[in-house]
Structure 1
Amino acid sequence: MDGSQDPQLHSLDARSLRGLAHPLRMRLLNALRHGGPATASQLAAKLGESSGATSYHLRQLAAHGFVEDAPERGKGRERWWRAVHRGVLFDGTLLEDRDPEVRGAADLYLHEAANTHTREVATWLGTRHDWSEQWRRSSDMSDWTLSLTPELARELGEKMYELIESYRSLALDEGTPDVEQVRIHTHVIPTRTD
């Protein structure tokens, strides 16, 4: 989907993809995007990693422009990090790059994104009883099968993206009653019937 005009989205190129395509780096970046600024130690505790590993990978993410210091949060020697962008745009041509290292990083990135979606759905299923009845009724796990051409599949994806973006403009304040972050996963993928 085309969000290339949105400064809050980072378009992945071969260099930045190499800097991001690591399972822990992707988890760190997601944690900062969804949970806000944090220290390497806080992220280590949240993700079950060592603070040495999180510190190293945060520095790598910073070197590639995905995270930056959040000095207004730090006290003393404590270093806080925040995400620079709210999301990334993946260019499918990276999967066809001449460099096998780029193709491998692109493949790893997509597999880790799918793993993240699976973890988020599994977490919802395991904790749905902790949410109000209103939130349980508002959640959705649906799937459909349509017969489309590649052009129509792309159009469908673009329309879904536009619809989701229209809700972003509502920008409800975190203090509004019943406001929660909502994760939306979209997958438009071809399948075979045999």
Structure 2
Amino acid sequence: MFNERIILQNDIDSFPGRWLGGLSLIIAPILLVISALLRIQYNFFFPDQLATYDTHPTLMLTSYSLFLIGMILLFPAILILVQLISKKKPRLGLWGGLLVIVGLFARAFHSGVDHFAFQIVEIENVEVATNFVGEFYGMFHVVNILNFSILFGWIVLAIGAYLSKVFGWFRSLALGMMFV
């Protein structure tokens, strides 16, 4: 057991390190859950989100901000997982990590779009914002190509975590459920 701890410690001494990586593994999912719970009573499709922002701007701003912070904090958490998984399953670590990290960048981009839409509600009104977002909702952007990556990335990372014995079956299943 002591030798395993030394090996684990030596494996994660590089960036992001034990503390940043470990704390982000704990804090990021908590922030994401709080974000979802804050707005769970409202429909998640954009017209309803904009209408909710119009009536509850502080609630929605808090929820969306916690979501973005959670996504940002997932980056060091994923790096730690990739390092640990890659010791025994390097391909699963590489591809799972790459797909999730690219997907995190796409999520950050979309958080900016959400913020912009909320500002339209503030500057104009909810109807203008809903029409504006509706007009642009299906338009192509290069970031849209990346949306699939986070979905598959969580599954690949979960399989890698299980097969490399970084996580047991329950934690691996929970990690894989991030694709939902």
Query: Does the alignment reach a TM-score above 0.5?
Result: no
TM-score, normalising length from structure 2? 0.34
The structure with the greater share of residues assigned to helix is 2
TM-score, normalising length from structure 1? 0.32
